[in-house]
Amino acid sequence: MDTELLKGTLSLLILSLLSRKAMYGYEIAATVHRDTDGAFQWREGSLYPALHKLEQAGLIAGEWEEKETGRKRRYYRLTATGRAALAEKTAAWAELCRAVNRVLEVSNGPA
Amino acid sequence: MDPLERYLDQVCRSIGGPRPLRDHVRQELREHLHDAAARHRAAGLSEEAAVAQALAEFGRPEQVRSELEATHGHRAMAVVIDTALRWKESTMRAKWLWATGAHLGLAVVIALEALFLTFLVMFIVPKFKKLMADGIIDPAVLDEQGAMWMPHFLGNLAAVTGNYTTHLVLGAAVLWGLFEWRVKSENKSLMRLTVMGGAAVKLLAVIVIATGSMVVSFCLAMPAMGPMARPFAAEQVATIDTSVAAVEPAVAKQDWTAATEQADRASAALARLTVGPALASLTGREPPTADELRTQTRSAQDHLRAVRQAVAEKDAGRATAALAEFRTAFAPVREAASRSGK
């Protein structure tokens, strides 16, 4: 999939995934990979700047947790502001999809 | 260093923000990479290949660093330190190259200084001594200004280099040989550079003092040339006056031979007056200046040329008119000569 398309949707994907439960970075990347059947070919390193930006904006909050194995993981959860932002972004995304689909349908004919 | 940690170094070293934040970012990325490598190991890759695969999937370090810097800012000092470290690494690898360059550079400097010093001692100092012997540079003036040590320094320099050059060169060669033979220190290269640098500085100091001594002595003594030139200039002005005064009656009597002879005498004296410091010696604190006198003299030369031309053509009227113009042009020079003689 075009990585440029992914860039614009990464924050929406992150907020959406975190609306399910708190997750750490690798878990988010693995879930995106699993849920999209590997359709997103992205640099995993891009995930963390996006996560940190969302955290700076107060849409998500991160917290370190130490596992029994001794590994430390930073779990991110959605904040109330983030939940509202997710609703807005989801609505905007749906509107965008509808608009794009209408254009495609007119151009190509109904499927 | 572990490739994973080296990768994290490259990604995290210039990220801005406080240290705890930077540590957290690094820790978070490290955990991700460990998880990813573990997944690849579980899929059957070797330890090394699993880490390499995890790093490749994470992205090129400069790309990730750039994105993190866009989020957390850029640490300027880190960039400076990073650049310095890379410079240090590259220069340490080329240590022998730097050392060789420094040795060669200093050797060239010392050789050039020695050549210049030889040139000074062989060609310039003798000329300076002759100027002193001829009285052009007056020792009394230097003594009065407390600068007699300068010609003494030049004399001693010439004596030492003339009599002991071989000893000095041989002594230096022996000391150098002993140093190379006996000294086994790991800092031998630095010691050699220090000695060469010291020699270069000392030679430079000798050159500066020697050239300075000549320049300063010359500048101090040259004003004495003014009084020496003044009687000469006054004598030329008197000759011009006498000759020009003799031209007019000769023209009136149409004695063209006498007129030509006197005009030529005046012209020769005028030419001598324009050479060297003669004209400048006629100036004082008040006008005219040396430049103004030179302008007047050039004008007088033009009119005298016209006089000689008219005399050659036996044209009494033109000669008389040109003489009058000459006198007007030459008047400031004559006045300056009479004033300076008082």
Confidence of residue B99 (pLDDT cuts 50, 70, 90): confident
Min Cα separation B1/chain A (Å): 21
Whole-angstrom distance, CA of residue B119 vs CA of residue B127: 12
Nearest CA-CA distance, residue B3 and chain A, Å: 16
Asked whether residue B135 carries a pLDDT value surpassing 80, the answer given is no
Q: pLDDT, tens digit, for every residue of B216-247?
A: 888 887 766 666 788 888 899 999 999 999 99
Residues 6+ apart with CB under 8 A from B211: B120
More confident residue, A72 or B92: A72
Residues B251 and B269 in one domain: yes
Asked if B140 and B99 sit in the same domain, the reply is: yes
Are B31 and A24 a contacting pair at CB < 8 A? yes
Tokens of B46: 């070797």
Mark whether B138 and B192 lie in a shared domain: yes
Average pLDDT over residues A85-98: 93
Collect all residues of chain A within an 8 Å Cβ-Cβ radius of residue B72.
52
- d(CA B247, CA B260) in angstroms, rounded, equals 8
- Whether residues B67 and A25 touch (CB distance < 8 A) is answered with no
- Which pLDDT score, from 0 to 100, does residue B57 have? 92
Q: Of B223, B247, B282, which one is at a domain's C-terminal end?
A: B223
Q: Give the pLDDT confidence score for residue A111 in this predicted structure.
A: 52
Instruction: Tokens 């240290």: give the residue.
Output: B19
Task: Give the burial string for A5-41 (b: 16+ CB within 10 Å, else e).
Answer: ebeeebbbbbbbbbeeeebbbbbbbbebbeeeeeebe
Question: What one-letter code names the amino acid at A3?
Answer: T
A43: nearest CB among B24, B58, B71:
B58
Q: Determine the residue among A23, A27, A41, A48 to mutate to test chain B binding: the one whose Cβ has the most chain B Cβ atoms within 10 Å.
A: A48
| Separation between Cα atoms, residue B19 and residue B13, nearest integer Å | 11
pLDDT score, position B225:
65
Which pLDDT score is estimated for A9? Answer: 84
Regarding whether B229 and B316 lie in a shared domain, the answer is yes
Q: Most B CBs within 10 Å: which of A14, A43, A56, A76, as the mutation test of the B interface?
A: A43
- pLDDT band with cut points at 50, 70 and 90 for residue B88: confident
CA distance B21 to chain A (A): 11
Instruction: Report domain extents, chain A.
Output: 3-108
CATH number of the domain encompassing residue B290? 1.20.120.290
Q: Which of B73, B93, B113 is the last residue of a domain?
A: B93
| Partners of residue A46 in chain B, C-beta under 8 Å | 59, 64, 67
- Identify the band that residue A2 occupies on the pLDDT scale cut at 50, 70 and 90: low
Per-residue pLDDT tens for A64-85? 998 888 888 999 999 999 999 9
- Domain holding B33, by residue range, is 3-93
Class of domain A3-108: mainly alpha
Best of B23, B29, B31 to substitute, by most chain A Cβ atoms within 10 angstroms, is B31
pLDDT at B340: 59
A-B Cβ pairs (cutoff 8 Å, strict):
58
What's the mean per-residue pLDDT of chain B?
A: 88
pLDDT tens-digit profile of A13-56?
Answer: 999 999 999 999 999 999 988 988 887 777 889 999 999 999 99
Domain count, chain B: 3
- CA dist B255 to A7, B261, B262, B320, B325, Å? 113, 10, 11, 14, 21
Residues B44, B11, single domain; the answer is yes
B32 to chain A, closest Cα gap in Å: 5
Structure confidence at residue B245 (pLDDT): 92
pLDDT in tens, B112-122: 999 999 999 99
Of A15-19, B37-41, B97-101, the poorest mean pLDDT is in B97-101
What pLDDT was estimated at residue A39? 79
Per the confidence metrics, is the pTM higher than 0.80? no
B244 lies in the same domain as B214? no
Report the C-alpha gap between A101 and A81 in whole angstroms. Answer: 30
Give me the pLDDT at residue B231, please.
85
Banded pLDDT at B278 (limits 50, 70, 90):
confident
CB contacts, 8 Å: A74 with chain B: 24, 27-28, 31
> Does residue B247 sit in the same domain as residue B136?
no
For residue A1, pLDDT beyond 70: no
Confidence of residue A110 (pLDDT cuts 50, 70, 90): low
Which of A25, A46, A53 is facing B28, going by the closest CB pair?
A25
Residue whose tokens read 């004495």: B224
Query: pLDDT band at B50, cuts 50/70/90?
Result: very high
Q: Which residues of A touch B60 (CB under 8 A)?
A: 43
Check residue A66 and give its pLDDT: 87
Q: Which helix (H) or strand (E) holds A50?
A: helix A47-56
User: Minimal Cα–Cα distance from B77 to chain A, Å?
Assistant: 21
A44 vs B58: CB contact, 8 Å cut-off?
Answer: yes
